[in-house]
Amino acid sequence: MINPLLKDFNTPCNSAPFNEIKEEHYLPAFQELVKISEKEIDAIANNPEPATFENTIEAMAYSGEKLDVVSNIFFNLNSAETNDEIQKIAQEVSPLLTEFSSKISQNEVLFSRIKKVFDEWNSPPLEGWSSQRRDRGGFKDLNEEQQMLLNETYKGFVRSGALLSDDDKKKLEKINMDLSIKSLQFGQNVLASTNAYFKHITDRNELAGIPEPILEQYAEEAKERNLEGYVITLQYPSYLPAMTYAENRELRKELALANGKKSFDGSDWDNQNLIKEIIKLRQEKAEILGYKNFADFVLEERMAKSPVKVQEFLNELLEKAKPYAEKEISELKTLAKADGIEEMQSWDHAFYAEKLRKQKFDLNDEELKPYFQLEKVQEAVFGLAEKLFGLEFVETNDIQKYHSEVRTYEIYEQSPKSPKGTCSSPSGRSGGDFKAILYVDYHPRKGKRAGAWMTSFKSQFQKDGENHRPHISVVCNFSKPTKDAPSLLTFQEVTTLFHEFGHALHGVLANTQYPNLSGTSVKWDFVELPSQFLENYCYEPEFLKTFAKHYQTGEILSDEKIQKIAESKNFMEGYQTLRQLGFGLLDMAYHSGVVELERLSVKEFEDKMTSRTNLYPKNPETAMSPSFSHIFQGGYSAGYYSYKWAEVLDADAFQYFKENGIFNSEIAAKYKVLLSSGGTKDPMELYKNFRGSEPKVESLLKRAFG
């Protein structure tokens, strides 16, 4: 039988044939597709024709398409629907792909062709030739996107070691291989450590203060485990409500300590040694490539450009935010003292913050949740995309799914000017132009890692006159429906859905020539702009009124409550800012060649580097670094600051809308250009084309602190 991953997908829009794929198909598929991709690269490198943009740079951009698709399928499932077998396969596949990538980046014949094209384009024009043309010797003009592809391709090879000696190339290849394996292991350890803990409670009195719908959720979890009573896990929808509402301080403490001990407990899943090994390897990689440290290496390709600028940015925000944060914590301590707590701890924060929020705004999550039914929130975000960008969403059962809880949609654009996709109206349900397939996967499962993210199964690109449209996925961990109620979201979960959907729109609206410049393939500190921008709409009364309706009665959330939501936007903003700055400063410390890590434990290092942002006593039993997946498994190493950096961008961008109307069609059209352009232009240029000026940090400070 033919491996389904190696044949053409006989599915709508060549979507992933999940019903046919079995675990045993992956490794043989990767092995075969790597061979095929190597042949494609060899054909480009050994082309007897002189090197040109088309037969070298462009040919490379389009190579390995099938391998990319299968990689996306596999690694997305490893995050959203993994099991022991998939994790085992990942340990074999990751070094295989790393070796393949290294072979490409260290292919001297291939690089010589790339360098020839690069040097030709960047050489001074001959006397009498226009500086705008490069058509001598058969070298054609390049448009702006082609120039970007050429520059990024050349830089990518140089940054991958193409100019190194043979010995250093071998060292770099070994480092990359080790990093691939260790980063993968880090994430698997965090998942295993998270799943290993649960708190079983049979006495309902121990759960005093926790709302009934949450208790039902805990009872369902116990039932699934064949236990009586209630079960609380470290999954976010289970853990956070307990920390927010449980009057039982000892319970909050136990849960907080368990959460803080993830992969920091001396077990087989402990990540402390892995952290030191990963940081050491990253430093060695940077030095081999000629950089002082890994942060210098990473930030060369970011909007921020240098560690110094990032540190200045983080320190400026820290100086401005800390007084607000200290004032906020002082208010919480007053409440805690009234309950007899002399020294407030981190496990008291969410509980007293919720008390204070209710006191100030007469709001609590459980009171608001009935007004935020998941399906209605999704309708709202779909409707916003329609209003701003003319998009239409059609649910379909024609697209195969990797789990029964996943829902699939076809997305169309109701615009006569929109480019035709190659999968136009696959189900025939819309007269618009096909834009994308969207998968949504909302509820926690044992095989799904924590958090929320957007990813893609297939990138957008144009080739041979056809516009290949993307397949986008949004994955979250919201509470499941119970026997008595649908999935109801906390307001924070509402903003999470909008955040991830902002990323999704970046992918859906992509309209570039080349896949490696498409959608979210932008500078890392620019990638959070679309996601954080969309969150702003959740606080706009004009928009909230359109969907904040009680799931049973249909009653619209009162004007008073909506106004309080808008007013509460900046509640605990100082604390949250310091928390994010702490993560950012810790990330920069790990990757700026700080020698202390060699002589300090991970815990000691973490405490020292976050001391300026600590607002509660540190606990010797806990550390967050061993579960800091963003920087040790994800792509945020030396880049966690980008969340706050993007907040400056999103605050400034939304201010533009606020000044002219939050649904202003002309501004939305300009913003759509920014989204559809992907990485084809310098992000600051894209932003200035949209806004008319560079972003101002004052926009963020005004929004956050008035």
* Structure tokens given for 213: 């719908």
| Residue 380 vs residues 364, 423, 465, 661: alpha-carbon distances, Å | 22, 26, 35, 18
Which helix (H) or strand (E) segment holds residue 471: the answer is strand 471-475
What is the distance between the alpha carbons of residues 378 and 552, in angstroms, rounded to a whole number? 17
Helices (H), 455-558: 491-508, 529-535, 541-544
Sign of CA dihedral 245, 249, 254, 258: positive
Q: Is 329 left (phi over 0), alpha (psi -120 to 50) or beta?
A: alpha
3-state secondary structure of 583: helix
Among 40, 81, 392, 500, the one annotated catalytic? 500
Beta bridge partners of 434: 412
Task: Specify the 3-state DSSP secondary structure of 466.
Answer: strand
Tokens 């074999």 belong to 92
Rg (CA), the chain: 26
CA 83, chain centre distance (Å): 22
Say if residues 388 and 657 touch (Cβ distance below 8 Å).
no
Annotated catalytic, 500? yes
b/e burial code for range 350-376 (CB count within 10 A of at least 16 → b): bbbbbbbbeeebebbbbebbbbbbbeb
The amino acid at residue 257 is: L
Distance, CA of 354 to CA of 515 (rounded, Å): 45
Q: What whole-number distance in Å separates Cα of residue 561 and Cα of residue 245?
A: 20
Contacts of 293 (CB under 8 A, 6+ apart): 283, 286, 287, 307, 591, 592, 593
What is the Cα–Cα distance from 562 to 556, expressed in whole angstroms? Answer: 10
Joined tokens for residue 1: 């039988």
Q: Among all residues, which ones are annotated catalytic?
A: 500
